[in-house]
């Protein structure tokens, strides 16, 4: 499984990158707004830090606007991936931009058939938002199972980015299902390291180490 971080905060990105397993970054307008910095400044800084895909969202609503904006964003760095919303214009723009060799991540996916359309449009990635489904009492992980099945049935090359992850169990279940990518907030990545028995075991080993004679 590839691990992306879901943030626009450069300190968080650097922290996750320092561990050596970070495969990419996803942002959205809400995450960029939280930095209180300009869009361009934030995106350029992330692209300088990360060699893997850096997902940035297009905000135009119509096809010509999305295509124009997408082409401009793609010029920022060669690892830019455009996040385009799951709308009819979004799907049309995706077909066009993918045809030009620009990678697109269809975002705000909440149903298996939306994911099917994303794959049909030639999207490189589709982002189902599982936490937001859980929030309205739908089991978000069922959506991931359905999309994995559909993409496998037809050998679609579109990669699934499990998004809107709220806790480590989301990552565990996505891994069991075999989803290709999870985009995870830093807080949840940090939780993935943790087990109380690791801490207790380490403390005991270090205490016992002190009891060992250091010279004969
Ligand atoms: O990046 C998109 C997605 O991960 C948003 O998550 O927590 O705002 O539902 P959340």
Write out pLDDT tens, residues 153-190: 999 999 999 999 999 999 999 999 999 999 999 999 99
Q: Domain residue spans in the chain?
A: 2-211
Nearest Cα residue to atom 6 of ligand 1: 164
Decide if 187 is catalytic: no
Write out pLDDT tens, residues 39-67: 999 999 999 999 999 999 999 999 999 99
The CATH H-level superfamily of 2-211 is Aldolase class I (3.20.20.70)
Alpha carbon of 6 to ligand 1 centroid (Å): 7
Alpha carbon of 200 to ligand 1 centroid (Å): 34
Quote the Cα angle for 61-32-167, to 5°: 105
Write out pLDDT tens, residues 80-119: 999 999 999 999 999 999 999 999 999 999 999 999 999 9
CB of 167 sitting under 6 A from ligand 1: no
Residue 13: which pLDDT band, with cuts at 50, 70 and 90?
A: very high
Nearest Cα residue to atom 10 of ligand 1: 164
What pLDDT, on a 0 to 100 scale, did the predictor assign at position 214?
87
What pLDDT, on a 0 to 100 scale, did the predictor assign at position 36?
98
Which numbered atom of ligand 1 lies nearest the CA of 135?
9
Cα–Cα distance, 80 to 183 (Å, whole number) = 16
Query: Is there a contact between 46 and 13 (Cβ–Cβ < 8 Å)?
Result: yes
DSSP β-bridge partners for residue 109? 128
């Amino acid at each position: 499984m590839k691990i992306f971080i879901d943030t626009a905060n450069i300190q968080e990105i650097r922290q996750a990158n320092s561990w050596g397993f970070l495969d990419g970054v996803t942002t959205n307008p809400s995450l960029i707004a939280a930095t209180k910095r300009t869009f361009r400044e934030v995106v350029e800084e992330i692209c300088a830090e990360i060699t893997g895909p850096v997902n940035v969202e297009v905000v135009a609503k119509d096809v010509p606007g999305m295509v124009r904006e997408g082409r401009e964003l793609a010029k920022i760095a060669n690892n830019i991936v455009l996040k385009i919303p799951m709308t009819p214009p979004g799907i049309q723009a995706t077909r066009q931009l993918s045809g030009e060799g620009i990678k697109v991540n269809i975002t705000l996916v909440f149903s298996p058939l939306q994911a099917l359309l994303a794959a049909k449009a030639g999207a490189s990635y589709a982002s189902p938002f599982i936490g937001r489904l859980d929030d309205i009492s739908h089991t978000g992980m069922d959506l991931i199972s359905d999309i994995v099945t559909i993409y496998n049935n037809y050998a679609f090359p579109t990669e699934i980015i499990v998004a809107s992850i709220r806790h480590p169990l989301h990552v565990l279940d996505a891994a069991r299902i075999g989803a290709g990518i999870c985009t995870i907030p830093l807080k949840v990545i940090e939780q993935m390291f943790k087990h109380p028995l690791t801490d207790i075991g380490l403390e005991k080993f270090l205490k016992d180490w002190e009891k060992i004679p250091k010279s004969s």
